[in-house]
Structure formats: structure tokens, C-alpha cells
Amino acid sequence: YYYYTTQQEAAPVAPKVDYKKVAEDVADALDDESHDDGSFGPTLVRLGWHSSGTYDKNSNDGGSDGSGMRFAPESKWGANAGLHKARAVMEKIKSKHPEITYSDLWILAATAAIEEMGGPHIPFRAGRTDKTENKCTPLPDGRLPDADGRDHKDAPADHLRDIFYRMGFNDQEIVALAGAHALGRCHTENSGYWGPWTNAPTTFSNEYFRLLLEEKWTPKKKHEGKAWTGPFQYEDPSGKLMMLPTDIALIQDKAMRPFVEKYAKDEEAFFQDFAKAWVKLTENGCKNLTAEPVW
């Protein structure tokens, strides 16, 4: 009896994670001349977004908790094509920091990449859990947006509403989040679309909104001297930049356009609104998160 009251077994305590160090290691892993525009940052942001953007507020499933994209069917969804490259970068960080969960790591990495590429300092909260493959209830495909507007091809903004209202967002938050297309590019081998949205695809800025309003966007007809055979998309007069039908929808739609105009004029307002919407996106469906000082 004495033995048991003095030598109680220690309750299993999860090993402490140094989130600040993880964020630093992610920042160090971004540069890679062999990948796109020289940085894995944009592709990591897309990983964080696609792991979160499955959330459904009505069924309260999906979202970043569980990191179900490690497994089929989610890893095989067309919308997630190409993200195996981002997950491979994440494996390197995970092997240095085995104590962090994949689901926290993916969100911390995307958040750190946004910061490292010149975006806002966004607060990070940890506590997401990893589900094992047999505990992952497969989600139905189709929860992430389609750039062609899916069944609203005449008004792709309504497709964005279908998808983002399901996650609990409003029109202003949809526009703010879409500003992440300042980053990265489309790859014909992933989505069929081609090209970057902005001239500085590894810098987080409000350039996407400025270009939406200032450039003349016309349907892409040619690519590298030959007829364009990919899906319907827009290009600028130089043919170097692109917009998706769902991007152009933001200036066609009467309710969304004022937010594009606001963010094009006021980068600070964009950064603040993006940061808020990003936290909501990446915490949807998560429980018991705790603030971790990272910056």
C-alpha cells in the first residue's frame, strides 16, 4: 500500500514540442532551386489549405485535425494532385521533430511559410491529433473548390459560396482567403491550368487584388506558340500571368468585388483580414487547442 502511494506511475505526458524551432526549421527548408520559383512556400500553403478546407460545419467533420490526406482516398483526390511533394518536405521536418503531430505540423508549416514570404505574423495554436488510417472515416470527394465553378459555370462565385459557406465563411472572408493566390502557380500536371497569378509568386502581398483590377484578363488561347488545349482560364496581355474562372468571379460578383477593391488599396486591411480568416480555416473542427508562441 505504501509502495503504491509513494511510487505512483507517472501519467503519460506528451513530450514537449518546440514549435518555435519547428517553424524555424520549416523556414530553412523552403528554398529549393529545383522547385518552381525557388521556394516550397506556396506549395506548403496549399497543403495547409487543402488539409483544412474539407471542413463541414453541419456534420462537423473534415478540417485540419487528423491529417487524413496522408491516406487514400484523400491523398488521391484530383484536387490534391501534386501535394505529395509538400508532404515529402514535411516528412523531413517530422523526422527531426517526431513529437509534433502531422496535423499540427502541416498548419504550422503553412503559417510559417506565409510569415517567411512576407505575410502577416499569424498566431498559431497547437493540439491537433493524428488519426490512424483505420480510424479515418473517408470524407466524400468534392469538398474542395473547383476552379471552373463546377455546377455554377455561369456564376462561379456561387460555387465559392457553396463551398466556403459550408465551412462557415462569408463573402468577405472568401475574398480575403483567395488573396493567397498572390503565391505560387498552377501546374498543368496537377490541375491542368498553367501559370502564376502574380509577378512575385514567392512574396505574400496584395498584388493578386491589384492585378485582378488593373490588368486586362482575356481567355487564354495560346501557350508557347501553340494552341492552348488546357481548361478555360484567363491570361494577361503578356501571357505570363493567369487567373482562374473562380478568381475572375471575385470581380464579376457584385457582393464580392468591393472587397477586392478594398484589399487592392489597403494591404494592411488585407493582411489583418487574411490572418483572421486563416486562423478560422485552420482551426475549424479542432478541439482544445493551446496558443504557442512561435514568432
Residues that bind ligand ZEM (CB under 6 A): 36, 42-43, 45-46, 49, 82, 145, 147, 160, 177-178, 180-181, 183-187, 190-191, 193, 244, 246
| Residue among 17 and 283 whose Cβ is closer to ligand ZEM | 283
Instruction: Using the minimum distance from each CB to ligand ZEM, give the nearer residue, 17 or 122.
Output: 122
- Number of C-beta neighbours around residue 60 at 10 A: 10
Where do the H-state alpha helices sit in the chain?
2-6, 19-29, 41-52, 84-96, 102-116, 156-166, 171-178, 207-214, 245-252, 257-265, 267-283
Give the span between the Cα atoms of 201 and 169, in whole angstroms: 26
Considering the complex, state which of residue 45 and residue 122 has its C-beta at the smaller distance from ligand ZEM.
45
CB of 193 or CB of 209, closer to ligand ZEM = 193
Closest by Cα among 235, 224, 246 to 160: 246
CA distance 167 to 162: 9
CB of 191 to ligand ZEM, least distance (A): 3
27-51 b/e with 16+ CB inside 10 Å = b? bebbeeeebbeebbbbbbbbbbbbb
Residue 15 beta carbon to ligand ZEM: minimum distance, rounded to whole angstroms = 31
The catalytic residue among 49, 106, 194, 197 is 197
User: In the annotation, is 194 catalytic?
Assistant: no
Nearest-approach distance from CB 24 to ligand ZEM, in angstroms: 21
Set 50, 152, 159, 181: catalytic member: 50
Tell which residue, 22, 19, 29, has the closest CA to residue 88.
29
CB of 12 to ligand ZEM, least distance (A): 36
To the nearest whole angstrom, how small is the minimum distance from the Cβ of residue 164 to ligand ZEM?
7
Cα 46 from Cα 186, distance rounded (Å): 11
User: Is 217 among the catalytic positions?
Assistant: no
Instruction: Give the cell for residue 102.
Output: 502531422
CA angle 241, 204, 195 (to 5 degrees): 20
Shortest separation between residue 50's beta carbon and ligand ZEM, angstroms: 8
Question: How far, in Å, CA of 46 to CA of 105, rounded?
Answer: 14
Sign (positive/negative) of CA torsion 248, 146, 107, 279?
positive
Q: How far is Cα of residue 176 from the mean position of the Cα atoms in its chain?
A: 12
Using CB positions, name the residue nearest to ligand ZEM.
Answer: 184
d(CA 283, CA 60): 12
> In this structure, what C-alpha cell is assigned to residue 7?
511510487
Which residues are the active-site residues? 50, 197
